[in-house]
Amino acid sequence: MEKQIEIAYSFGEQAHVSMFRGKFAVVKVLDTLRSNMKKVDIPNTISILAFEVANTIVKGYNLMQSLLEENIQIFSKEILHSEGVQLLVSTDIKELLRIASADKREEFEVFLKEVVRFGYRCRDPQWHALNHYFSRLRLEPIKRKHLQKEVEIAMQELTNLAQYTYELFHELHALERFEHLYSCKIEEVESQNLPRKGKGLMILQSELKNQRKLVSNLKKKSLWSKNLEEVMYKLVDVATFIHCAIVDSFEENVERKKANEKTERLGIHGLALHYANLITQMDIIASRSICVLPNMRDKLYNDLPASVKAELRYRLRDLDSKEVMTMPQIKAEMEKVLHWLIPIAIDTVKAHQCFGCVGEWAKTGNEFRKKTSTGNNIIRLQTLYHADKQKMDRYILDLAIYLHRLINLVKNQDKIPEYSPA
């Protein structure tokens, strides 16, 4: 497959390299792609690829929404200065901006690779040179205001198509169930030598017919029946706009040279979700301290990082038995941390649940068509991905000690004999 892509790229490069050269290449290339499209008549419907294309459209939509001016303002004024980001990631705003810029660029590169891959699926070889075009775009960026209105219209058209594709995805599954039920009913009727005119079978046959008609209509309305080249030039417009928006919003005031990263970040080591689950377990145990089951407590302890376990054993030996904290005091101390840590853990889990291909947009449903805000368009800085592991371990350790005190307090209360009147 990779060899075929290399051959296709080579052919496209030789046939159309002049399209990408010259002083005004970057600005004019989109118009060239569109005008050349009109000259060729190569039927190339998207078909089964529709679900992957819809997934890519949702990624592009979410990226565009995250780069809206109002969301950039929320990011700058709220997220960067939020308690969780300041305590777990960094207090250096320039460092946080660098991290956010790198994240947004990485997110864009994932989207871009998919657009380029779809280009190779086109029969017209001009689309096989998109890698070259986007490489030039990095060197000669254009202002997004020149593209904004046209791209907004293109994205609206794409999201409409993606919505119908989402519906098709689910109706195809429903059709499969109907066909299975109908097949089983036929076998049942034939095994009993009954005629195929029974009421139950006729109803099922009618439902199956209606479902096939619904699927057929959705195929016509969705990406399934669209020409891939027609969708491609819209995706290229979107990708160009997003690139320019990232430069305008993040990279103009961010140092491009990455400093030596010595901090151990949870996400880089694949630990973000594990720590999010730890925090959730702690919150559950704290809220149910009166009836904590032994298996819940044991599971939490087993899930603790090795370094935290070792430190916990050491700290528990040094606890002052005379130091008395009431249950409300313990819970109040835990709440000081959990009130800002729990939302981060929840966002971390949500971010991981959205990971995937078709599932990413299929689970989203109608949500991606709504105006996205930073509340449901989660960025990495809102999760545990960039959390400093050493800092996070200290919070986990403190919470574990408070939980130990809480559980012991409940046990000691249980040992006090109940008062019984004489």
Residue 255: pLDDT band with limits 50, 70, 90: low
C-alpha–C-alpha distance, residues 129 and 115, integer Å: 12
- pLDDT of 323-340, one tens digit each? 678 888 999 999 999 999
* pLDDT computed for residue 362 by the predictor: 54
Q: Answer whether residue 355 shows pLDDT above 60.
A: no
The rounded mean pLDDT for the chain is 81
Residue 263: pLDDT band with limits 50, 70, 90: confident
Q: Which two tokens stand for residue 337?
A: 């941390």
C-alpha–C-alpha distance, residues 58 and 361, integer Å: 7
Least confident of 43-57, 164-178, 356-370: 356-370
Higher pLDDT: 186 or 377? It is 186
* pLDDT computed for residue 413 by the predictor: 67
Q: Which two tokens stand for residue 373?
A: 């805000």
Mean pLDDT, residues 140-160: 84
C-alpha–C-alpha distance, residues 221 and 232, integer Å: 17
Whether 261 maps to a domain, the answer reads: no
Q: Answer whether residue 143 shows pLDDT above 60.
A: yes
- pLDDT of 221-248, one tens digit each? 999 999 999 999 899 999 999 998 998 8
* pLDDT computed for residue 120 by the predictor: 94
Q: DSSP for 23-73?
A: TTHHHHHHHHHHHHHHH-----B-GGGHHHHHHHHHHHHHHHHHTSHHHHH
- pLDDT of 51-95, one tens digit each? 999 999 999 999 999 998 899 999 999 999 999 999 999 999 999
Residue 22: pLDDT band with limits 50, 70, 90: very low
Whether 420 maps to a domain, the answer reads: no
* pLDDT computed for residue 287 by the predictor: 86
Whether 421 maps to a domain, the answer reads: no
Whether 353 maps to a domain, the answer reads: yes
Whether residues 139 and 168 fall in one domain: no
With tokens 């994932």, the residue in question is 110
Higher pLDDT: 179 or 142? It is 179
Q: Is 388 helix (H, G, I), strand (E, B) or coil?
A: strand
Higher pLDDT: 24 or 398? It is 398
Whether residues 185 and 320 fall in one domain: no
Whether residues 60 and 84 fall in one domain: yes
Whether residues 339 and 370 fall in one domain: yes
Whether 422 maps to a domain, the answer reads: no
Which amino acid is residue 44, in one-letter code?
N
Whether 258 maps to a domain, the answer reads: no
Whether residues 194 and 290 fall in one domain: no
For residue 389, the tally of other CB atoms under 10 A from its CB is 19
The most confident of the ranges 23-32, 255-264, 369-378, 405-414 is 405-414
> In terms of residue numbers, what domain contains 328?
267-415
Whether residues 231 and 322 fall in one domain: no
Higher pLDDT: 249 or 81? It is 81
Residue 357 · residue 55 · CB < 8 Å:
yes
Residue 189: pLDDT band with limits 50, 70, 90: confident
Name the domain count of the chain: 3
Whether 260 maps to a domain, the answer reads: no
Q: Answer whether residue 280 shows pLDDT above 60.
A: yes
Least confident of 10-24, 152-166, 195-209: 10-24
Least confident of 150-159, 314-323, 396-405: 314-323
Residue 295: pLDDT band with limits 50, 70, 90: confident
* pLDDT computed for residue 320 by the predictor: 65
Q: Is 421 helix (H, G, I), strand (E, B) or coil?
A: coil
